[in-house]
Structure 1
Amino acid sequence: MRKEEECSLAQGVRDFLLQYPRKTIALDALQQQFGTFAYEVFHGVIQHLLQEGSLRGIVSSGTDFGGLPRRYRLIRARLCSSSDQIQSDAARYAISARLDLSFYHEQLLPVWQRDLPYIVQLSDWLRRSADQLVLPVSDQQRSWDIFQDEKILLTPEGRGLLRRLHLSWQDIGVTRETEPLMMAAHPVMMQGAVCHHLIVENKAPYYKLLPHLTESRLSSLIFGSGWKIVGNLSALPMQSGCLTARHVAWYFGDMDWEGIRIFHALSMSAATASVELRLALPFYRALLLHEAAYGKVTQKPDEEAWTNLACWLPEDEAHQFLHLLQHHQYYPQETLCDAEWLTCGKELDDDIREFF
Structure 2
Amino acid sequence: MDQIRKIFTTFKKKTITLLELEHLLNPFFPTYEAFSETILQFEEREILVMVKAKGRTDRSPSLAFQYRINKSLLMRDFHKELQIYRGKLHPSINIDEYYRMDPSIWKKHLPFILKVDQFIKQNSFPTEYVPAPERSYELVGDEKWIIEKGGKEILERIGLFHLLNIIPVSEPLMFAINPKKINARKQYHLIVENKTTYQGLLQILRETKFSTLIYGRGKAIIKSIEQFSIQYPVVAHHDFFYFGDLDKEGIWIWHALNNKQPVRLAMPFYFVCLKKEPAVGKAYQREHGDSMKAFLLKFPLVEQEVIRNMLASGKYWPQETLKTRELQQVWRESDWTSLIYKK
**Offset of 1:68 from its aligned partner?**
2.6
Unaligned runs of at least 5 residues, structure 1 = 1-16, 34-40, 74-96, 311-317
Structure 2 SS opposite 1:185: strand
* Structural RMSD (CA): 5.8
2-structure distance, mates of 1:264, 1:142:
26
Other-structure match for 2:124 = 134
Q: 1:325 aligns with which of 285, 298, 308?
A: 308
Residue-pair matches, total: 272
**Offset of 1:330 from its aligned partner?**
6.6
The answer to whether residue 295 in structure 2 is matched with residue 351 in structure 1 is: no
Q: Which has the larger radius of gyration?
A: 1
Q: Aligned pair in 2 of structure 1 residues 57, 226: CA closer, same or farther (>3 Å)? A: farther
**Offset of 1:351 from its aligned partner?**
1.6
2-structure distance, mates of 1:61, 1:307:
52
Other-structure match for 2:296 = 306
1-structure distance, mates of 2:160, 2:323:
45
**Native 8 Å contact 2:251 2:295 kept in 1:** no
1:306-329 CA-to-partner distances (Å, cap 9, x unmatched) read 33344xxxxxxx624523404624
2-structure distance, mates of 1:188, 1:248:
17
Q: 2:146 aligns with which of 134, 153, 165?
A: 153
Unaligned runs of at least 5 residues, structure 2 = 25-30, 57-62, 70-87, 90-94, 96-100, 338-343
Other-structure match for 1:70 = 66
Q: 2:18 aligns with which of 15, 24, 27?
A: 27
Other-structure match for 1:251 = 242
2-structure distance, mates of 1:233, 1:122:
24
Other-structure match for 1:185 = 176
2-structure distance, mates of 1:211, 1:303:
30
Q: Aligned pair in 2 of structure 1 residues 175, 248: CA closer, same or farther (>3 Å)? A: closer
The answer to whether residue 269 in structure 2 is matched with residue 285 in structure 1 is: no
2-structure distance, mates of 1:69, 1:175:
56
Q: 2:37 aligns with which of 48, 51, 71?
A: 48
2-structure distance, mates of 1:72, 1:351:
68
Structure 1 SS opposite 2:189: strand
Identity across the alignment (%)? 14
Deviates more, 1:227-236 or 1:291-300: 227-236
2-structure distance, mates of 1:292, 1:60:
64
Structure 2 SS opposite 1:222: strand
Which residue identity is paired with 1:168?
I
**Offset of 1:144 from its aligned partner?**
2.2
Q: 1:199 aligns with which of 179, 186, 191?
A: 191
2-structure distance, mates of 1:129, 1:264:
32
The answer to whether residue 214 in structure 2 is matched with residue 222 in structure 1 is: yes
1:42-80 CA-to-partner distances (Å, cap 9, x unmatched) read 5x5432233678xx997478464125363699xxxxxxx
2-structure distance, mates of 1:106, 1:267:
28
**Native 8 Å contact 2:246 2:319 kept in 1:** no
**Native 8 Å contact 2:126 2:165 kept in 1:** yes
1-structure distance, mates of 2:46, 2:224:
44
TM-score of the two chains, using structure 2 as the length reference: 0.52
Q: 2:158 aligns with which of 162, 168, 191?
A: 168
**Native 8 Å contact 1:196 1:247 kept in 2:** yes
Deviates more, 1:253-262 or 1:278-287: 253-262
